[in-house]
Homo-oligomer: A and B are copies of this chain.
Amino acid sequence: MATTPRVILFDVNETLSDMSALGSRFSDIGLAPELSTLWFATLLRDGFALTASTDNVPFADIGAGALRVLLAGKSINRPLDAAIAHVMEGLIGLPLHDDVPQGIVALADAEYRLVTLSNGSASIAGKLFTEAGIRVHFELLLSVEDAPAWKPAPESYSYAATRIGVEPAEILLVAVHPWDIHGAARAGLNTAWLNRGNGTYPPHFAPPDITVTSLRDLPAALSVPR
Contacts and interface: CB of A to CB of B under 8 A. Distances in A.
Contacts of A205: 46, 50
A199 B42 CA distance: 15
Interface string A47-78: 01111111101000110011011001100000
A149 interface: yes
A208 interface: no
Contacts of A152: 49, 52-53
B182 A50 contact: yes
B65 A179 contact: no
Contact of A52 (B37, B51, B57): B51
Interface string A28-39: 000000000110
A36 to B, nearest CB: 11
A76 to B, nearest CB: 14
Interface string A132-166: 00000000000000000110111000000000000
B53 A186 contact: yes
A200 interface: yes
A200 B52 contact: no
Given A52-B150, A53-B152, A154-B53, A45 B203 contact: no
The oligomer's copy count stands at 2
Given A199-B69, A203-B68, A204-B65, A45 B41 contact: yes
A202 interface: yes
A46 B199 contact: no
A75 to B, nearest CB: 15
Nearest to A49: B179
A212 interface: no
Interface of A: 37-38, 41-42, 44-46, 48-55, 57, 61-62, 65-66, 68-69, 72-73, 149-150, 152-154, 178-179, 182-183, 186-187, 198-205
Closest 10 CB pairs of A and B: A48-B48, A49-B179, A45-B45, A72-B200, A51-B52, A65-B204, A53-B183, A53-B152, A41-B41, A65-B202
